[in-house]
Chain A
Amino acid sequence: QSVLTQPPSASGTPGQTVTISCSGSSSNIGRKTVNWYRQLPGTAPTLLIYTDNLRPSGVPDRFSGSRSGTSASLAISGLQSEDEADYYCAAWDDSLEAWVFGGGTKMTVL
């Protein structure tokens, strides 16, 4: 059981905008910023969004993040076949004094 809650799966057609949610609590998302990671099959995760809505260099602006209250979301616009991957949210938890992850969302491009 993950501390942060994500839907296990999401899907969309090419060109569509898809959103993945990440729900937490007052000890993590409610007071700390959120990161998002993408993991392509058989590879290590890569940072997609950090500090809620910042993109590392090289990440296209099709990816955007937001946070409100105890929830965060990742939006992927102009969905492409190469976006098929697992997506994870993470945040620092003040009560646990640990980084906590969501269980991951498997994105399928139909």
Chain B
Amino acid sequence: EVQLVESGGGLVQPGGSLRLSCAASGFTFNNFAMAWVRQAPGKGLEWVSGISKSGSNIHYAGSAKGRFTIFRDNSANTLYLQMNSLRVEDTALYYCVKYTSGTSLGDYWGQGTLVTVSS
């Protein structure tokens, strides 16, 4: 059974940093691209960043460029999102998401970890 378990969310002040983690199990992690998708309270879905199975190909949403870094440790079956210079508008539930074998987004989603940016 595929499982994606996020952690690392919490309350942080504007300008602060957080590192999110996603522990993956139930599939061969290094065979699949992964992504982070967020959802602000009461709002829709927003893709944040994606990374290829080897980690060599990375993309970011405009809102994340220059502030967020996605990376993965295939030996530990873990996906990360390093978030710096956090803003109030980054407040959201952050989902870890697996791509299909055909690199289509989102055949499995974690339950999310909540990031709250507030003073």
Residues of the B chain whose Cβ atoms lie less than 8 Å from the Cβ of A88: 44-45
Give Cα A84–Cα B109 distance, bound, in whole angstroms. Answer: 20
Cβ-defined contact, A35 with B61, below 8 A: no
Q: Bits for A44-73, please: 1 = Cβ < 8 Å to B, else 0.
A: 111100110000100000000000000000
Q: Is B62 at the interface (CB under 8 A from chain A)?
A: yes
Q: Please, how many residues of chain B have a CB less than 8 angstroms from a CB on the other chain?
A: 23
- A90-B47, A98-B47 known; A50+B107 contact, CB < 8 A: yes
Cβ-defined contact, B95 with A44, below 8 A: yes
Interface residues of A in 9-64 (CB under 8 A from B): 33, 35, 37, 39, 44-47, 50-51, 56
Q: Bits for B95-112, please: 1 = Cβ < 8 Å to A, else 0.
A: 100001010111111111
Q: Bits for A85-101, please: 1 = Cβ < 8 Å to B, else 0.
A: 01010101000111111
Cross-chain contact of B60 among A2, A46, A51, A98 (Cβ < 8 A) = A98
How many A-B pairs have beta carbons closer than 8 Å: the answer is 58
Residues of the B chain whose Cβ atoms lie less than 8 Å from the Cβ of A90: 45, 47, 105-106
Give Cα A56–Cα B107 distance, bound, in whole angstroms. Answer: 8
Give chain A's interface residues, CB within 8 Å of chain B.
Answer: 2, 33, 35, 37, 39, 44-47, 50-51, 56, 86, 88, 90, 92, 96-104
In the complex, 17 of the A-B residue pairs with CB atoms within 8 angstroms, ordered by the A residue number, are A2-B44, A44-B95, A45-B45, A45-B109, A46-B109, A47-B107, A50-B102, A50-B104, A50-B107, A51-B104, A88-B45, A90-B105, A96-B62, A98-B59, A99-B35, A101-B44, A103-B44
